[in-house]
Structure 1
């Protein structure tokens, strides 16, 4: 028996609407709202009109960073505060445009004048335009696929004014900005979709349908094939479910690839905790987001051809739900993982690392590009509650066995403004993963949960340069927050896209921890 899913339902509505971006060298014609950036000190922009700072202050507007004030008229004028220092980074610009977009939430055609910012500052026009597009498009994102009536006006057009001499650079920014905004929206769509509408099988169908449009090859492995492949972690987690698991392999192969990168995504379509049942609270209700790692890998890979990624990339999406039943995985069970390692299950709610381990081993065995193993592996998962306790909800945890991979992930995080913080892969904690009956356990002690989870995964990379992103804390926003719309943040999709676009294979052995079992 399986849950019947409406075949007409579209889990990726973002692909049916695209914002049109127009570049102008003069003020745009016909916008419904225009942004005016206002510093907290100095002269006011001419577009403010006859109002002075006292009048603005009386209206509650002191031009603090990202503060907005809507002035009536046609078009609407939205004042956006930029603080004492103005807009100095692409992250600040992305935030400012997002604040404007939210203030003009009912308007379908928006205009932003970037001319002064680009002409007077130390800016790359392409980066500025990209940030503005991401800020506007992602702030306007809303998941309303299951609502009778749409609740948000679509952003039909975004007009960006830039200096004439920067038009060519700006055009490059338009292309990148639209691709990356779409990438994040795809990740948000699949993560926001309720588990009844998007189980592992349906997700595989979505990937099979969508991925070829973006130059990707897809292979889907069903239950029988997963059993034949010996993916004991995926099978163990799936044991309590009436829904079959799926392992989805996505391949991107440019002409004459310069390297080979593997991406592993955790795809727990819904996580009840299994026999180690989660409490019935808000976090349990958010467990449809537990497939965001797989969603991020899938979404990121849709951008690779348009971003000109030069490396071959293979994505491995490990998909199942984690449910309690008479057949469910039990505490004390021992699973045999791909490659032969045995794992004692001491907590069925530490299931993500079990399915990811199988994916990591598959990646290390992959010699489909030039007969060589991947140059690097990066996995992404909503893995531990401990990372939320350590870093909160705006910063993801990153651990790596290779300094070069860590540095490239940090650069991609800075470019995307998806913040990460490197934590130590401290092998002194490895002893806590020992088991009396198996090669290792799936959990350790009460503390250092982020590190212990990463140490577990490190056992399966066979010395390959590897980075791990724990996005459990950053997976959702409980309210609209600038360009982070309520619900799934899509965290990691843009980061992985930026990472792959700039990926360089690490130099052999330099900065690599090759002793995966060091204690």
Structure 2
């Protein structure tokens, strides 16, 4: 994907919606035969069955080279006078899935990292629809080849991917093309989230994100309303004002609305209403409770990944024909030390009047989220469900590592929809219990509630804090602290910001059904 860098270009130069057959400069094609000008052709091979004859070697030769056909394996086979071939492992038949196919496509893309034009044979998986298979391959290839390069001036680096051709002789071409188009849109959205999260915090401020959000909204058919520090103060958003107090950069609350329409552009009755609240801490120093003096600071530019995922996901809704009415709240500010910074022992007043004692200035995400959650509950008509997403707690990362986000909520119906979307997109989650026996840990001597609990199960006490502001509406919380970035390339996740949550949210909003039964 080729978005402009954030440090030099004017807002007018930021184009989030490439033409229908491209992602940035990447051209996507479907063909019955591999193009002769492809640099390399991917040949999927499982651990059992016949080896495709076009590979030119047998299984014994592959095995002697260390290739068994397992997912994650690849073998480059040079040829004279034609494109090179890459044997790509797709694993045993019984274990094949959308997730494994996406992983295999990413493996192929990285094995062919020095080629500008890739072609790959689209395999037929039992139980996987052709459009879903095509979508997974496009996502895997494009996301694996992603690199954040607007600030990199070295001349020797991997060439950008220019063209991808999916080769299929037997699968219905219309279904394959439909999957390619959806994969293009979901990959484009994910790469937008990655670009935003990878951008240095001095370049991507809350005000700059407002400018970008306005361009994205105009291009994607979203309504947008932005609240500056004066408006936030008038709204009584004490969490946003308190966290921002130590920063020289003003805060922004960016509200986005997607209204579903039919193919003629006419409004339709929505299938349901869902509100999204995203943590947008543009840089988190920890405030006066300064973080340790190590490389954790370098990762804090990605503390706005929840807000980035919401903006990116909502950019894809119109193009994919989502039927739900979606409102997004991006809670954007720095958390910095300074003479006016929020102090331990301060009491903030959230939107709606609840008072909060601050006993940890590095537990700031929940303080900005509380204002967004209250605003979501005040919508008319009220939403059927509220979902928030945030890089919220180190406790969640320590519990789950970097492959799973935590999910927790007050209503199993919405939590189950999150889990289903996570499973389908391979942006996986693990459910924690909303154990209200721990609520007393948030009791404050001087305010309605304090912003931290005890030393254990911080991901649960953080969720219990957030639940205080949802007014009993079905709600789920995604803690993506561990999944927001990776230190090395891993499956379709490229080093740096992963864009986690973007495809999960897209899938959730495309399939959203209002939770029916009362469950608190």
**Cα displacement string for residues 168-226 of structure 1 (whole angstroms, at most 9, x for unaligned residues):** 21122111110000010000000000000001111111101222101011111111111
Q: Is the 8 A contact 1:102 1:482 kept in 2?
A: no
Structure 1 pair 328–165 and aligned structure 2 pair: CA distance change class (3 A): closer
Q: CA separation of 1:194/1:12 partners in 2, compared to 1, >3 Å: closer, same or farther?
A: farther
TM-score w.r.t. structure 2 length?
0.93
CA distance in structure 2 between the partners assigned to 1:359 and 1:486 by the alignment: 31
Give the C-alpha shift of residue 54 in structure 1: 4.0
Partner of 1:467: 476
CA contact (8 A) 2:427 2:500 kept: yes
Matched, 1:381 2:387: no
Aligned-residue offset at 1:166: 1.3
The equivalent of 1:76 in structure 2 is: 84
Q: 1:14 to 1:48 in 2, by over 3 A?
A: farther
Equivalent residue in structure 2 for 1:300, among 304, 313, 324: 313
- Helix, strand or coil at the partner of 2:119: strand
- 1:67-99 per-position Cα deviation (integer Å, ceiling 9, x unaligned): 111111221101112334476211111111110
Cα separation, partners in 2 of 1:14 and 1:374, compared to 1, 3 Å: closer
CA distance in 2, matches of 1:299, 1:75: 36
The equivalent residue for 2:118 is 110
Give the deviation of 1:122 after TM superposition.
2.7
Q: Distance in 1 between matches of 2:430 and 2:326?
A: 24
1:65 alignment counterpart: 71
- Map of 1:92 onto structure 2: 100
Aligned to 2:26: 19
Residue 27 of structure 1 and its aligned partner are, at CA, apart by: 3.4
Distance 1:501 1:41 in 2: 36
What pairs with 1:277-426 in structure 2 (closer than 5 Å)? Answer: 277-367=290-380, 372-426=381-435
SS across alignment from 2:303:
helix
CA distance in 1, matches of 2:117, 2:448: 60
Equivalent residue number for residue 3 of structure 2: none
1:225 pairs with 2:228: no
Whether the 8 Å contact between 1:97 and 1:132 is mirrored in structure 2 is: yes
Which 5+ residue runs of structure 2 have no aligned equivalent?
1-5, 19-23, 261-266
Cα deviation, residue 112, structure 1? 1.3
Aligned to 2:501: 492
CA contact (8 A) 1:275 1:323 kept: yes
**Is the counterpart of residue 48 in structure 1 residue 55 in structure 2?**
yes
Separation (CA, whole Å) in 1 of partners of 2:205 and 2:149: 19
Give the distance between the partners of 2:277 and 2:67, measured in 1 at CA: 46
1:232-281 superposed Cα distances (whole Å, 9 cap, x missing partner): 00011001111100000011112222221100000000000001110022
Q: What does the per-residue CA deviation read over 1:277-304, in whole Å, with 9 as the maximum and x for residues that have no partner?
A: 1002222210000000000000000000
Within 5 Å, give how 1:196-235 maps onto structure 2: 196-235=202-241
1:517 aligns with none
Residue 516 of structure 1 corresponds to none
Partner Cα separation in structure 2 for residue 163 and residue 62 of structure 1: 25
Answer yes or no: is the 8 Å Cα contact 1:140–1:152 preserved in 2. Answer: no
Tell me whether 469-478 or 28-37 shows the greater mean CA deviation. Answer: 28-37
Change (3 A) 1:366 1:449: same
Matches within 5 A, 1:194-273: 194-254=200-260, 255-256=267-268, 257-273=270-286
**Matches of 1:122 and 1:458 in 2, distance apart?**
39
Contact 2:34/2:41 (8 A) holds in 1 = no
1:137 aligns with 2:142: yes
Does 237-246 or 11-20 show the bigger shift? 11-20
Contact 1:109 1:156 in 2 (8 A): yes
1:101 maps to 2:127: no
Match of 1:38 in 2: 45
Are positions 1:191 and 2:197 aligned together?
yes
CA shift in 2, pair 1:87/1:306, >3 Å: farther
Decide whether aligned partners of structure 1 residues 7 and 41 sit closer, same or farther in structure 2, where only a CA change above 3 A counts: closer
Asked whether the equivalents of residues 39 and 86 of structure 1 are also in contact (C-alpha less than 8 Å), the reply is no
- Cα shift readout 1:94-149 (whole Å, capped 9, x = no counterpart): 111110000000212111112xx32x623200000000000011011000011125
Native 8 Å contact 1:277 1:324 kept in 2: yes
- SS of 2:30's partner is strand
Which shows bigger deviation, 428-437 or 402-411?
402-411
Tell me what 2:264 maps to: none
Q: Distance in 2 between matches of 1:208 and 1:168?
A: 34
In 2, are the aligned partners of 1:15 and 1:186 still within 8 Å (CA)? Answer: no
Instruction: Check whether the contact 1:12–1:186 (CA below 8 A) recurs between aligned residues.
Output: no
Q: Is the 8 A contact 1:101 1:136 kept in 2?
A: yes
Give distance in 2, aligned partners of 1:360 and 1:212: 25
State whether residues 90 and 96 of structure 2, in contact with CA within 8 Å, keep that contact through their aligned partners in structure 1: no
SS for the counterpart of 1:225 is helix
Q: 1:104 to 1:483 in 2, by over 3 A?
A: same
Number of matched residues?
Answer: 499
**Structure 1 unpaired stretches of 5+:** 514-519
Structure 1: distance between partners of 2:367 and 2:326 = 23
